[in-house]
Amino acid sequence: MLPVTRVLAPNPGVYTLEGTNTWIVGREPSIVIDPGPDIPGHLDDVARQARPVGAVLVTHDHPDHAPGALPFAQQVGSPVYAFRLAGAEELRAGQRVRAGTLDLTAIHTPGHTSDHMAFFEPGSGTLFTGDAVVGRGTTFIDPPDGDLVQYLRSLKRMAELGPRTIYPGHGPVVLRAQERILEYLAHREERETQVLSALAGGPRTIAEMVGAIYADQPKDVHPLAARSVLAHLLKLADEGRAECTGKTEDGPWAAATPRTCQRCGRLVRAKARYCNSCSLAMLQAEG
């Protein structure tokens, strides 16, 4: 059994549920994932339970996960690794971080943010997911650092690992890990269908779509929902299936027919005239 201990940071909220989960993995030495915000009382609690600490890892640079990392690492005398955090050692995709017999692999999982990392322990099938998968509800995708196309790819990447247990950045531990990831994929597909059927009735602004799709939800989630609908529209625009006809990203948005390459007839991204391989072939022919 991989020993894992949670220390809950005292920062409850709309995005953070009960607060940020700081995970202490293994012991003597341990690896600490996401020290959370820079709250001295919380960092002291983590230090007391985690010492000695071999490494500090950060899933992503949001204020509820990262600001405590450097002060905590200094307090316990350990290196800190992150994909994007000033003062931390740079963590690369696929990099392994070891402490004692513990060996975690960093899995680049962009989508919630572009720097997002999950951490995997293959022996036990344990996956630390930060905000890529949370214990309750869904992950918030806020463009442009949040990107739904990348996020869906990251979910599939995490499913391929065949995780057994998910230790999320917020909320309870997820015991049916694989099932939860598949639910997340299904949920996004369902939302996409709702956005497409809204557009099928004619051009719509994001506010109109949110009003229709989130009609049964309290009004105070609508600003979040608007960002999520925008994330879907940007994905559909990238695929040539929707286009923004307004001056700002609020729309109105309209359904579009995907374009085909004028040279080979394959589908092309967004507003391109030729597919990538035809563009390249033509460039090379020009010499």
Contacts (CB under 5 A) with Zn ion, residues 80-109: none
Q: Does 64 bind Zn ion (CB under 5 A)?
A: yes
* Dist CA 12 CA 192 (whole Å): 30
147 is a contact residue toward Zn ion (CB under 5 A): no
User: Of 23 and 274, which has the nearer Cβ to Zn ion?
Assistant: 23
Residues 236, 239, 245, 250, CA torsion sign? positive
Work out whether 62 is an interface residue with Zn ion (CB under 5 A): yes
Q: Which is nearer to Zn ion, 11 or 209 (CB)?
A: 11
| Rounded least distance, CB 13 to Zn ion, Å | 9
Is 250 known to be catalytic? no
C-beta of residue 31 within 8 angstroms of C-beta of residue 53: yes
Rounded Cα–Cα distance for residues 21 and 12 (Å) = 11
Q: Does 61 bind Zn ion (CB under 5 A)?
A: no
Q: Residue 62 Cβ, how far from Zn ion at the closest point, in Å?
A: 3
- Choice among 34, 64, 131, 147 that is catalytic: 64
What is the rounded distance in angstroms from the CA atom of residue 150 to the CA atom of residue 235? 9
131 interacts with Zn ion by CB under 5 A:
yes
Find out whether 19 and 8 touch, Cβ atoms under 8 Å. Answer: yes
Give whichever of 64 and 121 is closer to Zn ion, judged by the CB atom.
64
Tokens coding 277: 């391989």
Q: How many chain residues interact with Zn ion (CB under 5 A)?
A: 4
How many residues in total does the chain contain? 287
Phi/psi for 42 (5° steps) reads -65, -45
Q: Which residues are catalytic?
A: 64
Sites of contact with Zn ion (CB under 5 A)? 62, 64, 131, 169
